[in-house]
Amino acid sequence: MGRVSTRLLTAAAQAPSGHNAQPWKFVAEGQRVRILPDLSRRLPAVDPDDHALFISLGCALENLVVAARGEGYNAEVDDTSLVGENSEIRVHLQPSETEDRHEDRLYAAIPERQSTRRTYDGRPIPSADLRRLDDASRRDGTGFHLFTDPGRIEPLIELVEEGNRRQFSDPAFVEELVAWIRFNPREVEGRKDGLTHAVMGLPSIPRWLGRFVMRKLVTPGSQARSAARAIRSSAALMLFTTDRAHPRGWVDLGRSFERVALTATTLDIRQAHMNMPCEVPTLREELRWHLGLGDAHPLLLLRIGYAKPMPRSPRRPLEEVLVKGSP
């Protein structure tokens, strides 16, 4: 594979991940690629059961599959080894003759996709485009819900605000978040991971000042209010659920989310996570009850709409995510 494998793994590593922790490792062996969780990059405060970690692996997998098709390969996914410490996803690549323009557009969208955390312009999304997002979300065992009506969005905003208040009142959550913020270009260059000051719309400051601001000036109330404003500037909310609260279900949800995110990118639709009520277990239950989701687990909530892009988020170089022995 050589150069092709480099392109496929670069695409996989451009996937989104919680706090941009990039919790993945890759092994490339001939026509086979393996994706492994990097458990040293867990987020125990915000993601104690690792569901966000496996969703992130699902995003990387979807990028890899889309990139493989774009490079002329069929990707056969074996996710039967997603159990316990030695979890891995195996992808077998077979040369393919089929051309698919739609897949090519998704492939081109991989480096363009981003989490856009700024205020949106309030324009509604045409219903034909919402249908395309809905089509892109389809995957067995996962659910997708769109909310465009302010009457349905307002109760969800209350849950987001409450989630924000609870998370920012929890010192372990704030400590973990601060540890993943890169407050100035020197920190960004040194680590090439985490949430940079630029993607969060913040000025470059020394770490001591960043810690002070995050601990003393960013209050649970101020965070809740700015999340509510951000949602009200957006066109819609979208929610992803899974029927299965285990790694295979989480990986599938990640694949569904990434396909929607790439499709949205091709339509100039921006997205940003508003996961707070999915991350606090009691609020997740409330969300499930409020929406009548039955046994489905609501795990990702995002706002979508139109806005200018933000600066890009960094990624670690491939050498750092390739397990030894790979080309």
* E strands, 124-197, in order: 142-147, 181-182, 195-196
Q: Does 56 bind ligand FMN (CB under 6 A)?
A: yes
Q: With CB under 6 A as the contact rule, which of the stretches 17-25, 142-150, 168-176, 203-211 interacts with ligand FMN?
A: 17-25
Q: Look up residue 300 and give its two tokens.
A: 């990702």
Site string for ligand FMN, 266-305 (x = CB under 6 A): -------x-x------------------------------
Q: What is the DSSP string of 74-128?
A: EEEEE-TT-SSTT--EEEEEEE-----HHHHHHHHHTTT--B--S----PPPPHH
Distance CA 254, CA 114 (A): 15
Among 20, 184, 241, 256, binds ligand FMN (CB under 6 A): 20
Among 9, 36, 55, 287, binds ligand FMN (CB under 6 A): 55
Among 8, 57, 59, 227, binds ligand FMN (CB under 6 A): 59
Q: With CB under 6 A as the contact rule, which of the stretches 30-38, 50-58, 83-91, 118-126 interacts with ligand FMN?
A: 50-58
Question: Would you call 212 helix, strand, or coil by DSSP?
Answer: helix
Among 114, 164, 241, 263, binds ligand FMN (CB under 6 A): 114
79-107 burial: b if 16+ Cβ within 10 Å, else e: beebeeeebbbbbebeeeeeeeeebebbb
Q: Does 316 bind ligand FMN (CB under 6 A)?
A: no
**H or E element at residue 281:** helix 281-291
Distance CA 251, CA 227 (A): 27
Q: With CB under 6 A as the contact rule, which of the stretches 10-18, 65-73, 154-162, 227-235 interacts with ligand FMN?
A: 10-18
> Which residues of the chain form contacts with ligand FMN (CB under 6 A)?
16-20, 52, 55-56, 59, 114-115, 117, 195, 273, 275, 313
